[in-house]
A = this chain, B = another copy of it.
Amino acid sequence: MKAQAMPNWLIKRAELTPSRTAVIFQQESRTFAELHEASLRTAKQLGFLGIQSGDHVALLLQNRIETVVLIHALTYIGAVTVMLNTRLTPHELAWQIEDANVKYLIYDSHNQDKAASLPQSSKRNWQGSLCDEVFALPEKEIPIRKEIDLDEIHTIIYTSGTTGYPKGVMLSYGNHWWSAIGSSLNLGLDADDCWLAALPFFHVSGLSILMRSVIYGISVLIHDRFDPAEANQAILQGEVTHISVVSNMLARMLSELKEPSYPKRFRCMLAGGGPVPLHLLEECKSRGIPVYQTYGMTETASQIVTLGPEYMLSKLGSAGKPLFPAELRIEKDGKVLAAGEVGEIVVKGPSITKGYYLREEATRQAIQNDWFYTGDLGYVDEEGFLYVLDRRSDLIISGGENIYPAEIEHVLTSFPAIEDAGVIGVSHENWGQVPIAFVKMREGFTMNEDEILQYCRERLARYKVPHALHLIDEIPRNAANKILRRKLRENFLLPRNES
């Protein structure tokens, strides 16, 4: 007996609401029945490739309908989907593919060159296919998993940490399910809802929209990249009721918006990836745009704390309250703190990951007695509203992407002429923050900025490449040899010195 068994969500949707629109991309759309048919066919084509239940299959894909089909097709087989960030370098991708024990990689024509340039490693025991080739394969009759179990792993998504090495966050069907349910209990739900997905599906913020679509029976309007004018147009035409954005996307949409406001049908601007600046909130307030600020991460399967628009200004800077049925507390030195006291943000609830793939120690450190230690600092006020003071002390959020300094430092110190390196984030008008680096050269070497940055570009996704390099004599470290990033900022950073 599986207490957590339920029908596969798309199969159930195709039964319950077959003729409702599931996805829209450019001039095309699919109903839930059509999406099911396509996913079923693709599952059989993947079966022809030899992909079986339990296999790890990585996707390196743009946002489009076929991506949605592949994600669901893999659930029909019972395979685990590894969502790869298309902005990563071949080096970074190869590392994740190996770490996740990927058996098969599926990429689209946009990512074909990148897939072809993945380093040939002796450890390489996976195969790859262009998705259009998969869609042309014969179908093999394979067992279709009509029922899923909430405890099974649906997705692995990588997130970096303080160690500099990314870790694969395992998200179960249950994590996605409960995240969707928690969101619906907060935002409400209507059969006519349509969620604009302009964030990539390889991020949990984009993927969670697809999960909500099949669980709720609502449609997703897919954009393959964020364009503020196109996003505005979709909302103004009355198509869209919800959109997920990061602060910087919101800013660009507002500055593009000629009309006084959005139509009344538009119910929710879900803003994640860090707090929204005051002047933007004030503009939203005056233009009647319903902003829900959220706090969440890959490990919580997207939003876990959300602030409704009614508190937008009265609780300025707050991320809100934990969604039903999540819980939240602030801890320091193993003690739960009272309201107003600053400590680590600790959350609990059924949307929280079971752990990091093959990282038992990291999992044990992060999750204790069902409580997930976010590493972020914050406090709750007397009414229970969360204020996030700092994402993990060193986390840099750039245009909604998380950047972990240690990962960049790791690449820099692998450059032969560099002895030591330290990375911090600095404010940036467009991206919120960008990384800059401080380097100490080995004796007898001088800093060749172009060479170092080229080296980084080969090994790091573009958004992670430092916007400036500063030569210093010594990287400040504490007794435990940890970089003192605060000192880097105080001692060496000149105002406006970043590019």
Residues of B within 8 A of A321 (CB): 15-16
Residues of B within 8 A of A369 (CB): 1
Is the contact region of chain A dominated by helix, strand, or loop, or is it mixed? Answer: mixed
Interface membership of A338, Cβ < 8 A: no
- Contact residues of A between 1 and 53, Cβ < 8 Å to B: 1-3, 5-7, 12, 15-16
Residues of B within 8 A of A283 (CB): none
Measured CB to CB, the closest approach of chain B to A20, in angstroms, equals 11
Copy number in the complex reads 2
B217 touches A185 (CB 8 A): yes
Stretch with Cβ within 8 A of B (4 or more), from A188-196, A229-237, A242-250, A410-418: A188-196
Interface membership of A350, Cβ < 8 A: yes
Measured CB to CB, the closest approach of chain B to A481, in angstroms, equals 35
Residues of B within 8 A of A349 (CB): 6
Q: How far is the CA of A5 from the CA of B350 in the complex (A)?
A: 9
Interface membership of A181, Cβ < 8 A: yes
A325 touches B12 (CB 8 A): yes
- Contact residues of A between 206 and 235, Cβ < 8 Å to B: 215-217
Closest to A178 in B: B6
Partner pick for A325 among B2, B6, B189, B190, CB 8 A cutoff = B6
Partner pick for A7 among B1, B185, B186, B325, CB 8 A cutoff = B325
Partner pick for A324 among B1, B186, B215, B350, CB 8 A cutoff = B215
- Contact residues of A between 190 and 206, Cβ < 8 Å to B: 190-191
Interface membership of A184, Cβ < 8 A: yes
Interface membership of A327, Cβ < 8 A: yes
Interface string of A96-117 (1 = CB under 8 A from B): 0000000000000000000000
A6 touches B188 (CB 8 A): no
Interface membership of A384, Cβ < 8 A: yes
- CB-CB under 8 A for A185 and B215, given A1-B370, A15-B384, A16-B321: yes
Measured CB to CB, the closest approach of chain B to A349, in angstroms, equals 7
Closest to A193 in B: B188
Q: How far is the CA of A189 from the CA of B6 in the complex (A)?
A: 22
Closest to A267 in B: B190
Q: How far is the CA of A384 from the CA of B11 in the complex (A)?
A: 13
Residues of B within 8 A of A324 (CB): 12, 16, 215
Interface string of A373-411 (1 = CB under 8 A from B): 000000000001000000000000000000000000000
A188 touches B191 (CB 8 A): yes
Residues of B within 8 A of A216 (CB): 185
Measured CB to CB, the closest approach of chain B to A355, in angstroms, equals 13
Closest to A349 in B: B6
Q: Which residue among A185, A215, A217 has the maximum number of chain B CB atoms within 10 Å of its CB?
A: A185
Measured CB to CB, the closest approach of chain B to A351, in angstroms, equals 11
Q: Give me the 7 closest cross-chain CB pairs, A-B, nearest first.
A: A6-B325, A189-B189, A188-B190, A188-B189, A15-B384, A16-B321, A1-B370
- Having A7-B327, A12-B324, A188-B188, one finds 18 other A-B pairs with CB under 8 Å, namely A1-B369, A3-B350, A5-B370, A6-B325, A6-B327, A6-B350, A7-B325, A15-B321, A16-B186, A16-B324, A181-B181, A184-B184, A184-B185, A185-B189, A185-B217, A188-B191, A189-B189, A190-B190
